[in-house]
Amino acid sequence: MNILLAIIVLGSIAAIFGALLGFASIRFKVDADPIVEQLDALLPQTQCGQCGYPGCKPYAQAVADGEAINKCAPGGEDTIKKIADLMGVEVQPLDASHVQGDVAKSNRPKVAFVIEEDCIGCTKCIQACPVDAIIGAAKQMHTIIIDECTGCDLCVAPCPVDCIEMRELPETIHNWQWDLTSIPVKQLD
**DSSP code, position 96:** G
Q: Taking the alpha carbons of 154, 158, 164, 165 in that order, is the dihedral positive or negative?
A: positive
Is 32 a binder of other proteins (CB under 8 A)? no
> Are 153 and 100 a contacting pair, CB within 8 Å?
yes
**Vertex 63, ends 75 and 149: CA angle to 5°?**
35
The only residue of 66, 88, 93, 184 in contact with other proteins, by rule CB under 8 A: 184
Stretch binding other proteins (CB under 8 A), from 13-21, 88-96, 97-105, 126-134: 126-134
SS3 of residue 1 by DSSP: coil
DSSP E strands in 61-133: the ranges are 110-114
- Least Cβ distance, residue 70 to other proteins (angstroms): 20
- Least Cβ distance, residue 69 to other proteins (angstroms): 18
Quick one: 1 or 32, whose CB is closer to other proteins?
32
Is 46 a binder of other proteins (CB under 8 A)? yes
> How far is it, in rounded angstroms, from Cα 157 to Cα 154?
6
Is 136 a binder of other proteins (CB under 8 A)? no
The only residue of 118, 165, 168, 169 in contact with other proteins, by rule CB under 8 A: 118
Whole-number Cα distances in Å, 169 to 37, 39, 138, 140, 159: 30, 28, 28, 26, 21
List binding-site positions.
48, 51, 56, 72, 119, 122, 125, 129, 149, 152, 155, 159
The only residue of 29, 31, 96, 187 in contact with other proteins, by rule CB under 8 A: 187
Whole-number Cα distances in Å, 19 to 12, 16, 22, 160: 10, 5, 5, 65
Q: List the x/- string, 73-112, binding to other proteins by CB under 8 A.
A: ----------------------------------------
Residues at the interface with other proteins (CB under 8 A): 40, 44-47, 55-57, 118, 120, 130-133, 148, 150, 160-162, 171-173, 175-180, 182-189
